[in-house]
Amino acid sequence: MRTNSNGRLEIGGCDVIGLAEKYGTPLYVIDEQTIRNICKDYKSAFSKYEKVKMLYASKALCNTAVSSIVASEGFGFDAVSGGEIFTIYKSGADMSKVLFNGNNKSFDEISLALDLGVGRISVDNFFEISLLNELAKSKSVDILLRITPGIECHTHEYIQTGQIDSKFGFDLSQIDEAVELILTECENLTLRGLHAHIGSQIFETKVFSDEIEILVKELARINEKYNLKLDEINIGGGIGVKYTENDCPPSIYETAEKILTSLEKAIEKYKIDPPALILEPGRSIISTSGVTLYTIGSSKQVPNGTKYVAIDGGMADNPRPAMYGADYSAFIVNKEEISLQKVTIAGRFCESGDILIKNINLPNPEEGDILCVLNTGAYNYSMASNYNRVQKPAMVLVNNSQSDIIEIRETLEDLISHDVIPDRLKK
């Protein structure tokens, strides 16, 4: 964001207040250039290792416009559902650069992935290995084996994925059984490598070193035991972002240096050929690319207590504070930061837990003010709901002083479009 010549804030060259007036609130705003810049930073940071494949983790934010942008920057995709796969396909992306990931892929989802030519499927359990081999029929399907490396990162327990007791992947003690099943009974599956993911919103780069050590060691062990030369490791994503002033995530370049140095040492230690290195950044690409605009409505001063300021959105368009205790930064767009008072931003939904930001200092918030919440590109729209039968917000893409709708605001008719009243209930 920056201030224009009239002293008003802009994002992507578009006046922020003007966006709220034109499209209404709540409004998701995505800055295209920020997405592209971060994608370029990733490619630059890892450029000294030739065998790098970048996959955008679609679960952070998946629609056809965003998919089209990241694909044009040379990224593939990590998809976790049939819906994400279909969205990526409709964006015109190269489906051979898509990895299908997830712990309980359905028959229909696997069939769709095979029909659309998804390039890799990360298998998560023994049932899925057998199901995929059956559905593949005469096709040859390239797969990765997802493992849980036994690494716990210091983040919220709901976004840890690499610890031993996890719903995702094969325990290290199960790898041999899985490899033997693939080699002896699955003629349609070609095992290409190992896949691990240790969590999300990670600030400590050492965990990536530990993960790489485990993956490379397993490649060497599998090669020695089965004469099977695997040539890919997927270390997932999870690089943290700065939501508040208290957050100090490492830069993409710092993280890349740690990962590549660790990989070089592990390759030398275990005497293997350099494998392809696959990464799955999601939040770190899209989070800082987005803001959400709200209009302030009512307020309430509890005697000798909290002042609540309510907005026209909340936990249905951003469930992360209620689910994870996530923190955000925000400011009032149409006022200068003077005469600040401590308030709590409350959502409009019928839940006491619908609190967006606690104890934030804002300049005399009043009805009609526009509140801008920063860093909302990831896991806001993608986790949004119609709780209380409230319509999902619109989303606009901004760049070079131009704004374009990329998600249409839902209407009341949209809310009931899939409702059906059985004939026996009709009078």
Catalytic residues: 350
Helix (H) or strand (E) holding 67: helix 64-72
Distances (CA, A) of 358 to 1, 125, 313, 329, 330: 24, 41, 15, 10, 11
Tokens of 59: 């679960």
Q: Cβ distance 1 to 9 under 8 Å?
A: yes
What CA–CA distance (Å, rounded) separates 225 from 267?
A: 18
DSSP class of 158: G
DSSP string, 216-229: HHHHHHHHHHH---
What CA–CA distance (Å, rounded) separates 256 from 253?
A: 5
What CA–CA distance (Å, rounded) separates 170 from 178?
A: 8
Distances (CA, A) of 266 to 153, 209, 217, 233, 246: 21, 9, 8, 12, 34
DSSP string, 234-281: E----B---SSTT--PPPHHHHHHHHHHHHHHHHHHHT-PPPEEEE--
Q: Cβ distance 275 to 220 under 8 Å?
A: no
Count of Cβ atoms closer than 10 Å to residue 396 Cβ: 23
For 215, list phi and psi in degrees, rounded to 5: -65, -45
Torsion of CA 217, 218, 220, 222, to 10 degrees: 160
Give residues with Cβ within 8 angstroms of 20, minimum separation 6: 27, 293, 295, 333, 370
